[in-house]
Amino acid sequence: MNSIGERLTAERNRLGLNQGEMAERGGVQRTAQSNYERGTRMPDAAYLAALAQHGVDVLFIVTGQPTPVPEKDMNLYGDAWEVLDRTLQENKKNMPAEKKRQAAEALFEAVRSGEGSAQSLATLLIKAA
């Protein structure tokens, strides 16, 4: 990925957002989002700062280098993945790989922000699946 537009699109897809949702998080119209992604317009600092508040990796968008993840977050993400996997097995449920990744990321973010325990949140996710 060579351009900011391509990286912006990749980051939007990583987060599972459509252009309208990404535009809303950045405080712009969907047409502006489309222009950024096509490379016909460059995003400004206010837009990027707004996206950063929503978990968008702005360093990756600007430089192409992902923001390094602290080791404690890596461990917490691994724990979230294991709890999700175990809960799926215990409930004899299965999820497509992309949905499982999204669920693990949501679980990780919820636990990291103090919204509950991994096990109770994983059980809720599985029941919703």
pLDDT band at 7 (very low <50, low <70, confident <90, very high): very high
- Cβ-based neighbour number of residue 93 at 10 Å: 12
For residues 49-69, one letter each, b for 16 or more C-beta atoms within 10 angstroms of the residue's C-beta and e for the rest, the string is ebbbeeebbbebbeeeeeeee
Residues 19-33 pLDDT 10s: 999 999 999 999 999
Residues 71-112 pLDDT 10s: 767 777 778 788 888 888 888 888 887 888 887 787 777 777
Q: Give the tokens for residue 20.
A: 């309208």
Per-residue HEC secondary structure of 49-69 comes to HHHHCCCCCHHHHHHCCCCCC
d(CA 5, CA 23): 13
**One-letter identity of residue 122:** A
Helices and strands in the chain: count of H runs, count of E runs: 8, 0
Q: How is residue 1 annotated by DSSP?
A: -
Q: Say what percent of the chain tops pLDDT 70.
A: 83
Exposed, middle or buried: residue 100 (CB in 10 Å: 0-12, 13-18, 19+)? middle
**One-letter identity of residue 82:** E
How confident is the model over 61-79, as a mean pLDDT?
80
